[in-house]
Homo-oligomer: A and B are copies of this chain.
Amino acid sequence: MKIIEGSITAPKGFKAAGVHCGIKKKKKDLAIIYCEVPANAAAVFTSNKVKAASILVSQDAIRKGSKIQAIVANSGSANACTGKKGIEDVKETVEFTAKEFGIQKNSVLVASTGKIGMSLPMDKIKQGIKKVVSMLDSNGSSDAALAILTTDKIKKEIAVEIKIDGVPVRIGGIAKGSGMIYPNMATMLCFLTTDILIDRNALKSALKTSVDSSFNLITVDGDRSTNDMVAVLANGLAGNEKVYRNSSAYRIFQQVLSYVCTFLAKMMVKDAEGATKFIEVKVAGAASFAEAKIAAFSIANSNLVKTAMYGEDPNWGRIVSAVGNAPIKLNPNKIDVFFSGIPVVCNNAPVSGGRERAKRLLSNNEIVIFVDLGIGKGKCSVWTSDLTPGYVKINAAYT
A positions within 8 Å CB-CB of B: 47-51, 78, 80-83, 115-117, 179-180, 186, 221-226, 301-304, 307-308, 310-311, 313-318, 320-326, 330, 332, 335, 345, 347-350, 387-389, 391-393, 395-399
Complex Cα gap A180–B179 (Å): 23
Query: Given A49-B332, A51-B332, A332-B49, are A83 and B315 neighbors across the interface (CB < 8 Å)?
Result: no
Beyond A50-B348, A80-B321, list 8 extra A-B contacts (CB 8 Å): A49-B332, A117-B349, A179-B304, A222-B302, A303-B391, A308-B396, A313-B399, A387-B392
Q: How far is the CB of A203 from chain B (nearest CB, A)?
A: 28
The contact of A116 among B303, B318, B398, by CB within 8 Å, is B318
Complex Cα gap A98–B81 (Å): 63
- Which residues of chain B have C-beta atoms less than 8 A from A389's C-beta? 389, 392-393
- Which residues of chain B have C-beta atoms less than 8 A from A48's C-beta? 321, 324-325
Total identical chains: 2
Complex Cα gap A186–B51 (Å): 34
The CB with the most chain B CB atoms within 10 A, among A186, A224, A226, is that of A226
B349:A315 contact, CB within 8 angstroms: no
Nearest B residue to A326 via CB reads B49
Q: Main SS of the interface on chain A? A: loop
- Which residues of chain B have C-beta atoms less than 8 A from A224's C-beta? 321, 324-325
B50:A335 contact, CB within 8 angstroms: yes
The contact of A313 among B47, B325, B391, B396, by CB within 8 Å, is B396
- Which residues of chain B have C-beta atoms less than 8 A from A315's C-beta? 116, 398-399
A350:B81 contact, CB within 8 angstroms: yes
- Which residues of chain B have C-beta atoms less than 8 A from A80's C-beta? 317, 320-321
Q: How far is the CB of A308 from chain B (nearest CB, A)?
A: 7
Query: Given A307-B395, A311-B396, are A324 and B226 neighbors across the interface (CB < 8 Å)?
Result: yes
Q: How far is the CB of A275 from chain B (nearest CB, A)?
A: 12
- Which residues of chain B have C-beta atoms less than 8 A from A350's C-beta? 81-82, 117
Nearest B residue to A332 via CB reads B50
Nearest B residue to A47 via CB reads B325
A345:B81 contact, CB within 8 angstroms: yes
Q: Which 9 A-B pairs have the closest CB atoms?
A: A116-B317, A311-B396, A50-B324, A83-B349, A307-B395, A389-B389, A48-B324, A49-B324, A221-B303
Nearest B residue to A182 via CB reads B325
- Which residues of chain B have C-beta atoms less than 8 A from A345's C-beta? 81, 117
Complex Cα gap A322–B50 (Å): 9
- Which residues of chain B have C-beta atoms less than 8 A from A335's C-beta? 50
The CB with the most chain B CB atoms within 10 A, among A221, A302, A325, is that of A325
